[in-house]
Chain A
Amino acid sequence: MNCQEIREKISSYMDNELDSEQSRCVDQELLRCPVCREELKLLQQVDAAVKEMPSCSPSAQFPARLMQQIAKQAALPERYGFTYNIFVHPVKFFEKFYNLFNSQRVSTTATLDELGDFPPCSISYIYFKLLATKP
């Protein structure tokens, strides 16, 4: 590795993320090259400043507010799983569809007989007629 390549590895070297061979190369280069040593020093200063940045913390009310939210969550009824949510709506639809036809099952054909003379396009009339005769 040349000097430029070594300098690009200094960041990983600082983090102990190089393998032993690469790490040894960087060690040797640091002994030899003042520019690389300066680079390491600058990056270490940057890291030190990032570490020492003033830390901030959430407000004093945060834990109490969070626990309140948790209590609300716990009070909610348990939600069903993913599989249930996928199948519940189609099942409900087919159930309604089945009930619709099942409840309107006619025991006699009297109404239909009465409508026997209507032309085929008058299906809407037949529909409303059936609707009106629904008990």
Chain B
Amino acid sequence: MKNIFGDNSDQDLIKAVGNGDHQAFEHIVDRYKNALYNFVYRYLQDRSLAEEVVQEVFLRIYKAAPKYKPANNAKASTWIFKIAFNLSMNELKARRRYSRLTVDRAGEREIPAGMQVPVFAETREMMEGIMSGLRLLPENQRSALLLRVQQGFSYREISEILNATVSSVESLIYRARQHLKQHVCMEHKE
């Protein structure tokens, strides 16, 4: 994984949280809140629900920190995203069981303040096509692609997070890219 968080001390931070260090916990929250929120939001398509899930992720981290032991030298970020993925999946299943998933359409194409708006209409169209195409992808393809492209995880790390084999992760990412490419090309033709 690319060192996007500057995180060679994640393990130390989690150990410190396990020893009751609140400042270390605040540091972890600060480090991961945006990345987790983006990932969960792209997965659930609902802002308030995404915030609840991210909160639950941090609560789980806090509770599990005293017993935390990285499996097979896995990075702490892999463990954190695995919690986020599992909770998101549970949430999605629960919502599907009781009601149809309501999509937060108000925010789906919203570009937050401070975010650079693409200058060229073509780029904007491409991005809008990508965003709508991403929503249409099956969840496992979407998660695999986002974990790879946005978070920079390796296929092996993604396989740990999604609880899948490396070859199926390879296939998921390949299919996700193909779907998005076709979706953007189709929108462009229209």
A residues engaging B (CB < 8 A)? 8, 11-12, 15, 17, 42-43, 45-47, 49-59, 62-63, 65-67, 69-70, 73
Contact call B126/A62, Cβ cutoff below 8 A: no
The 6 closest A-B pairs by CB, nearest first: A49-B130, A11-B174, A54-B111, A50-B149, A58-B37, A54-B115
Contact call B112/A54, Cβ cutoff below 8 A: yes
Encoded as 1 (CB less than 8 Å from any A CB) or 0, chain B from 22 to 53 comes to 10011001100110011001000001001100
Contact call B107/A56, Cβ cutoff below 8 A: yes
Residues of B near A51 (CB, < 8 A) are: 149-150
A44 to chain B, nearest CB (A): 10
Q: From B58-66, B69-77, B83-91, B93-101, give the one contacting chain A.
A: B58-66
Contact call B118/A11, Cβ cutoff below 8 A: no
Residues of A near B112 (CB, < 8 A) are: 54-57
B residues engaging A (CB < 8 A)? 22, 25-26, 29-30, 33-34, 37-38, 41, 47, 50-51, 54-55, 58-59, 62-63, 107, 110-112, 115, 118, 123, 126-127, 129-131, 134, 145-146, 148-150, 154-155, 170, 173-174, 177, 180-181, 184-185
Residues of A near B38 (CB, < 8 A) are: 55-57
Bound CA–CA A15/B150 (angstroms): 12
Residues of A near B33 (CB, < 8 A) are: 57-58, 62-63
**Residue in A11, A43, A46, A59 whose beta carbon sits within 8 Å of that of B51 in the complex:** A59
Summarize A's interface: helix, strand, loop or mixed. Answer: helix
Contact call A53/B127, Cβ cutoff below 8 A: yes
Contact call B26/A73, Cβ cutoff below 8 A: no
Residues of B near A46 (CB, < 8 A) are: 130, 177, 180-181, 184
Bound CA–CA A12/B34 (angstroms): 27
Bound CA–CA A70/B58 (angstroms): 9
A7 to chain B, nearest CB (A): 10
A110 to chain B, nearest CB (A): 59
Residues of A near B26 (CB, < 8 A) are: 63, 67
Bound CA–CA A50/B54 (angstroms): 21
Bound CA–CA A10/B123 (angstroms): 23
Contact call A50/B170, Cβ cutoff below 8 A: no
Bound CA–CA A62/B30 (angstroms): 11
Contact call B177/A69, Cβ cutoff below 8 A: no
Instruction: Report if A12-B37 is in contact (Cβ < 8 Å); known contacts: A50-B180, A53-B130, A56-B112.
Output: no
Instruction: Report if A54-B55 is in contact (Cβ < 8 Å); known contacts: A17-B155, A17-B170, A46-B177.
Output: no
Can you list 25 A-B contacts (CB < 8 A)? Answer: A11-B173, A11-B174, A12-B155, A42-B181, A43-B181, A46-B130, A46-B180, A49-B126, A49-B127, A50-B149, A50-B150, A51-B149, A53-B130, A53-B150, A54-B112, A56-B107, A57-B33, A57-B37, A57-B38, A57-B112, A58-B37, A58-B51, A62-B33, A62-B51, A65-B55
